[in-house]
Structure 1
Amino acid sequence: MALHLLLLLLAASVVAADEEPFIGVNIGTDLSDMPHPTQVVALLKAQQIRHVRLYDADQAMLVALAKSGIQVVVTIPNEELLAIGQSNSTGANWVFHNVVAHYPATNITAICVGSEVLNTLPNAAKILVNALKYIHSALVASNLDRQIKVSTPLSSSIILDSFPPSQAFFNRSLNQVLVPMLEFLQSTDSYLMLNIYPYYDYMQSNGVIPLDYALFKPLPPNEEAVDSNTLLHYSNVFDAMVDAAYFAMAFLNYTNIPVVVTESGWPSKGDSNELDATVDNADTYNSNLIKHVLNKTGTPKHPGIAVSTYIYELYNEDTKVGPLSEKNWGLFDADGAPIYILHLTGSGAVLANDTTNQTYCIAKDGADPKMLQAALDWACGPGKVDCSPLLQGEPCYEPDNVIAHANFAFDTYFHKMGKSSDACDFKGVATISTSDPSHGSCLFPGSLGKNGTLGNITAPSMNSTIPDSSAYDVHSCEPRYRRLLMVMGFVMWVLVLL
C-alpha cells in the first residue's frame, strides 16, 4: 500500500498556480448594527482588502463595490438552491439579475453555488451538480464563463482519514455527487472550494493535535507530523488538510484541480469550555495564515504553490446563534474598530486592520545586512532623519545592531514623509508593519501614547545625492569621525545601489 501511494504521489500532476496567491475576507451580515455597504467598502479600501466573498448577492453591496477594484465572490444561498437545481431558466434568471446586471463595474470573479450543501442540506445533494451546470450555462450564454468561475464550498469534514494526508479519501457515500462535481470543475477550469477550520480540528482532537501545530507556530523538525507513506513533513493542520484534499481528489483520478480555501480563521473569544478562543490565538493564527499564503510557501505536496484563502471573517457577528465563539470570528467590530492588530511583518500592508493609525516602517525579514547598513546611512544622512536617539547611551542605542537601528531610522523617515508607501521601500529592504517596534524607553513615531507628530520638514527623495554635513553616523562614538564616516557611508550607499 505504501509503495502504491508513493507512486501515486509521483505520478500526480502538479496543480498549477492560476495567478498570484491572495488573502480575502468573508463578509457575514448577522450583526445587530450592520454597517451600510458604503461603510463596508470604505473599510475594505482602507485595509487594502482586494478580495471578498459575500454569502449572498445583496444588490446594495454589489452597487457599493462597483468600480472599487475589489474582486468579489457572490453566493447562491442554500435556500435558493433547490429551485435553481431543478430549472435551467431559474438559474439563468439568477445570473442575469445578480451577475450580468453588475458586471463588469463590480468585478465578480466567482459564484459559490450554495455553501457546505452536502453537510447542511443533504436533500439538495442530488441536484447540486445540476445547479452548477445551469449557472455555468448562463455564464456561457452571457460570454462570462472565462471571467467567472463556478464552484461550491465543501466542508473539510467530508474528507475521511485525513492524516496522513496520503491516505485521505472523500466520504464514499458522497461519491455519486463528488465524481460528477469534480468532472465539472476540471472541465470548466474551476477550483475546489474548501472550508478549513484548524480550531475545530484542535478542539475535537482531545489533545492529539498540539495547539502550536494548529496555530502555524514554528516547530522543530522532530515535532513535525510525518506522512509515513510519502515521508513529507507537516508543521501545521492547514497544510495537512489542503494536501488531504489533493490526495482525496487523486484517489478519484482528478489531479489537476487547484484548491481555494473559502473559509478559515480562529475565534477571539469563547465560552468557559473554549479556553483557546482568545485574542492572542486568533491574532497568531490569522497573522501566520496570511504570511503563509502571501509568502507562497505552498504545501509539502505542492511546495511553492500557495493556496489563496478567505479569512472568516470581516466583522464579529453578534446575532449568530450557538456558543460565544460563533459571534467572535471577526477582524473588526461593527464600528470598524479592530479586534486585534495583526502581526504581518514582511507581508506588506494588506489587512493591516489598523484604524488607530498604527503603521510602522521596519526592515524586511532576511534583508541583506549590507543593504540595510547602506539604507541606514542614507536615512541618517541625506534623509535628514534625527538619528541621535541611536547614539551610545541614548534610548534607542540598544540593541546595538543594524536591524534595530534601521527600524528606527526607517520608521522616522516614513512618518516624516506622511506615511507614504513610497517612503517605506529603501531599495526593497523595508516594509510596512502593524507591529509596534518600540521597546523599553525607545518609542517609535506613532507608537501608542505618542502622537507621532514631527516637525514640518521637507525631506529629500531617496534618490537624493546631496550629502548633509549635519548627519549622524550612528555607529561612531567619536564626534570628530562622524562627518567623514557619514560621507563614506553615503558613497557606499550609492555604490551598492547602482
Structure 2
Amino acid sequence: MASLSHLPIFLSLLFTAFYSAASQSFIGVNYGQVADNLPPPAATAKLLQSTAIKRVRLYGADPAIIKALAGTGIAIAIGASNGDIPALASDPNAAAQWVNSNVLAFYPASNIDLINVGNEVLFSNDQGLISQLLPAMRNVQSALSAASLGGKVRVSTVHAMTLLAQSDPPSSGRFNPGLQDVLKGLLAFQRDNGSPFAVNPYPFFAYQSDPRPETLAFCLFQPNAGRVDAGTGIKYMNMFDAQVDGVRSALNAIGFKDIEILIAETGWPYRGDSNEVGPSVENARAYNGNLIAHLRSQVGTPLMPGKSVETYIFALYDEDLKPGGTSERSFGLYKPDLTVTYDVGLSKSSQVTPLKPSREMVSYRTF
C-alpha cells in the first residue's frame, strides 16, 4: 500500500480502517476439537472477535460453537463427515434433515456460508466413498436450494495436495490421471453452483522433504533467490504461491479456469519431536505471520494477481488428543487459556497497517 504520509490525517485514518477491514475477509482459522482441554465456545467466540479473523472452519457442525458465533459476523464453514456421506448420497431426505439440523436451525444469526462435504475423500482410496461424494454434494445442494439458501451457502469438499501428480514447477501442475474423471464431475457441479475448490497446501511438508536453508527461506516467505518456472519464466518468491499456482495450473489443464481456489488448511507447527525437521516457534511465527502479511497485501499469486484467496490457517488451538508425532498436536495459534502461543499480529489492538510489498515480493517475472 502506498505511503499515507501525504494524506490529511483524517483521510489517512479512514483509508487505513477501510483497507484493514476490507483485507481481512479472506483470513480464517481451523477450529478442531480433538482435544480435552479446549475453552468454552463462548470464550472462543469472544477471543475471535478480538482478532482480525473473519472466518472459522469447523470439521463438523458442533451446535454449541455455531450458536456461540451467532451475531459475531464471523463466517462459518461447517463439515459433513466422511461417515455422513453414504446417507447423504443415498437419501435426499437425509440431506434435507442434515441441512435443517445443521444450517437452518442457526441461520442467519450464525453466518454459515460453506459446507464441506467430506475431508480428503479422494485421498482415502475408498472407491465406494469416492463414488458417493458427488451424489452427497448434489443432495446437500438441493436441500439448500429448497430452503432458499442456494447461492448463499456454498457446497464444496476438501482435498489433499496429494491429488496432484505433479506440481513443480507450478505451470506443470496436473491432477492424478486416475482421479480426473471423478474430479471433472465434482468440478462441473461446483462450477454450476459457484463453489470453490478447497485444498490443503503445506509448505512445511515441502521443507521436510527438502530441508535446505534456501528451501526454508522460500517456505517462510523470507528473503531468498526465488525459483524460476521454466515453463512460464515466472520467478516465484515463496512456496505458498508456488503450491497454489500448481493447483491453478492443474484446474486450468482440465478446463476449469473459472473455478475459485480456497485454502482449507495451511500452517506450521511450533514444536515437534527430535527427529522432525522444521518445527519451532520461530519458524511457525515466520510462516503464519508472513502468510498473513502476504494475504493482506492482496498481491495475490503470479497466476491469480491482485486478490487473496480465502485461507484458513491451521489451527486455532492445539488438539492434544490427535495421534501421531508431537508436531500433529502443536499447530495452535492460541493456548487453552486464550493467550497467544506466539504473536502473528492477529489481535485488533496490535494490528499494523500492511505495507506495500517490496519489489522482491511482487516482481514475479524475470526478463
TM-score bin, normalised by smaller chain: 0.7 to 0.9
Measure how far apart 1:143 and its partner are: 0.7
**Equivalent in 68, 83, 94 of residue 64 of structure 1:** 68
| 2:19 paired residue number | none
Q: How many residues are aligned here?
A: 334
Relative to 1, partners in 2 of residues 1:214 and 1:101: Cα closer, same or farther, differing over 3 Å? same
1:253 to 255, 263, 270: 255
Does structure 1 residue 99 correspond to structure 2 residue 135? Answer: no
Question: Contact between 1:31 and 1:334, CA under 8 Å: does it hold in 2?
Answer: no
Question: Per-residue displacement from partner, 1:169-200 (whole Å, max 9, x unpaired)?
Answer: 10011112101011011111111111111101
Given the superposition, is the C-alpha separation of residues 362 and 82 from structure 1 closer, same or farther in structure 2, using an over 3 Å criterion?
closer
Contact kept? 2:263, 2:312, Cα under 8 Å:
yes
* Structure 1 runs not aligned, ≥5 long: 1-18, 345-350, 368-498
Question: Is 1:341 the counterpart of 2:346 in the alignment?
Answer: no
Q: What is the Cα deviation at residue 122 of structure 1? A: 2.4
Q: What is the CA deviation profile of residues 110-166 of structure 1, one whole-angstrom value per residue up to 9, with x for unaligned ones? A: 100111111136231111111111110001101101111110011111112201111
Structure 1 residues 362, 195: closer, same or farther in 2, change over 3 A?
closer
Tell me which of 79, 83, 88 is aligned to 1:79.
83
The separation in 1 between residues aligned to 2:254 and 2:145, in whole angstroms, is 27
Q: CA deviation at 1:361?
A: 8.1
User: What residue number does 1:426 align with?
Assistant: none
CA RMSD across the alignment: 2.0
Residues 304-355 of structure 1 deviation map (CA, whole Å, 9 limit, x = unaligned): 121120000000111111000000000011111211111x4xxxxxx22x8x
Q: Normalized against structure 1, the TM-score is what?
A: 0.64
Specify the alignment match of 2:144 in structure 1.
Answer: 139
In structure 1, distance between residues paired with 2:351 and 2:324? 41
- The question of whether the paired residues in 1 share the 8 Å contact of 2:211 and 2:277 is answered with no
CA contact (8 A) 1:331 1:340 kept: yes
Q: Which residue of 2 aligns with 1:464?
A: none
Counterpart secondary structure, 1:269? coil
Aligned counterpart, 2:363 = none
Map 1:36-435; keep pairs closer than 5 Å.
36-120=40-124, 122-123=126-127, 124-205=129-210, 207=212, 210-219=215-224, 223-342=225-344, 344=345, 351-352=346-347, 365=355
- Alpha-carbon separation, structure 1, partners of 2:322 and 2:351: 38
Q: Structure 1 residue 248: deviation in Å?
A: 0.5
* Structure-2 separation of matches of 1:175 and 1:35: 42
Give the Cα separation in 2 of the matches to 1:249 and 1:364: 31
Q: Which secondary structure state, in structure 1, belongs to the residue aligned with residue 85 of structure 2?
A: helix
Q: Which moved more, 1:39-48 or 1:287-296?
A: 39-48
Write the letter of the residue equivalent to 2:321.
T
Instruction: Write the distance in 2 (CA, Å) between the matches of 1:360 and 1:143.
Output: 40
- Aligned amino acid, residue 241 of structure 2: D
1:100 and 1:200, CA in 2 relative to 1: closer, same or farther beyond 3 A? same
Q: Deviations over 1:402-442 (max 9, x none)?
A: xxxxxxxxxxxxxxxxxxxxxxxxxxxxxxxxxxxxxxxxx
Instruction: Supply the distance in 2 between the matched residues of 1:75 and 1:68 (Cα, whole angstroms).
Output: 20
CA–CA distance in structure 2, aligned partners of residues 156 and 311 of structure 1? 16
How far residue 90 of structure 1 moved from its aligned partner, in angstroms, is 1.1
Relative to structure 1, the CA distance from residue 73 to residue 362 in structure 2 (aligned partners, 3 Å threshold; closer, same or farther) is closer
Query: Secondary structure of the equivalent of 2:93?
Result: helix
- Residues 312, 231 of structure 1: CA spacing in aligned structure 2 closer, same or farther, 3 A cutoff? same
Give 2:134's aligned amino acid: V
User: 2: distance between equivalents of 1:310 and 1:38?
Assistant: 21
Q: Is the 8 A contact 2:30 2:315 kept in 1?
A: yes
Deviates more, 1:42-51 or 1:312-321: 42-51
Q: 1:239 to 1:362 in 2, by over 3 A?
A: closer
| Residue 487 (structure 1) aligns with | none
CA distance in 2 between partners of 1:172 and 1:308 (Å): 27
Per the alignment, do residues 360 and 323 of structure 1 end up closer, same or farther by CA in structure 2, a change over 3 Å counting? closer
Rounded to whole Å, the distance in 2 between the matches of 1:361 and 1:158 is 36
**1:275 positional shift:** 3.7
Report the CA distance between 1:208 and its aligned residue. Answer: 9.5
Identity rate, percent: 37
After TM superposition, the structure 1 stretch with the greater mean CA deviation from structure 2, 273-282 or 81-90, is 81-90
- Distance (Å, rounded) in 1 between the aligned partners of 2:59 and 2:121: 13
Larger radius of gyration: 1
Residue 100 of structure 1 deviates from its aligned partner by 1.0
Measure the CA separation in 2 of the matches of 1:324 and 1:335.
20
C-alpha distance in 1 between matches for 2:307 and 2:352:
28
Deviation at 1:365, TM superposition (A): 3.9
Q: Find the aligned partners of 2:354 and 2:166 in 1 and give their Cα distance.
A: 40
- Cα contact 2:263–2:309 (8 A) shared by 1: yes
Deviation of 1:79 after TM superposition, in Å, equals: 1.6
Change (3 A) 1:173 1:339: same
Q: Which secondary structure does the structure 2 equivalent of 1:94 belong to?
A: helix
